[in-house]
Amino acid sequence: MSIPPTMGVGKAIEIIKQNTSRELKQKFPFIKQTYWGTDAVWSEGYFVSSVGVDETVIQKYIEQQGKKDAGQAKLELF
């Protein structure tokens, strides 16, 4: 998965959790009754691991900062 550099990892995870929670509750209504008085499907927190990159990739990333996004890095969830 990749997210645009303008979006923080936390925000991306929040969107994923919200969308998957909504979809799961719509498809499996019994889930709403399973979690003992809470509407939450996911627990708080998350784990993220990133792939290492070399100096060339970092330099290219820095050079692209501030330039208009060409639309190639859009996050689409559902």
> Is the pTM here over 0.75, yes or no?
no
Q: What is the mean pLDDT of each run of 10 residues along the chain (78 residues)?
A: 82 91 88 72 76 76 69 58
Which tokens sit at 35? 């979690």
Distances (CA, A) of 60 to 1, 21, 44, 49, 70: 20, 36, 34, 21, 15
Q: Are 48 and 13 in contact (CB under 8 A)?
A: yes
pLDDT at 37: 67
pLDDT (0 to 100) of residue 68: 63
Gap between the terminal Cα atoms of the chain: 14
Output the six-digit token pair for 78. Answer: 């559902």
Domain regions of the chain by residue span: 8-45
For residue 78, the model assigns a pLDDT of: 55
Return d(Cα 27, Cα 30) in angstroms, integer.
9
How high is the pLDDT of residue 46?
80
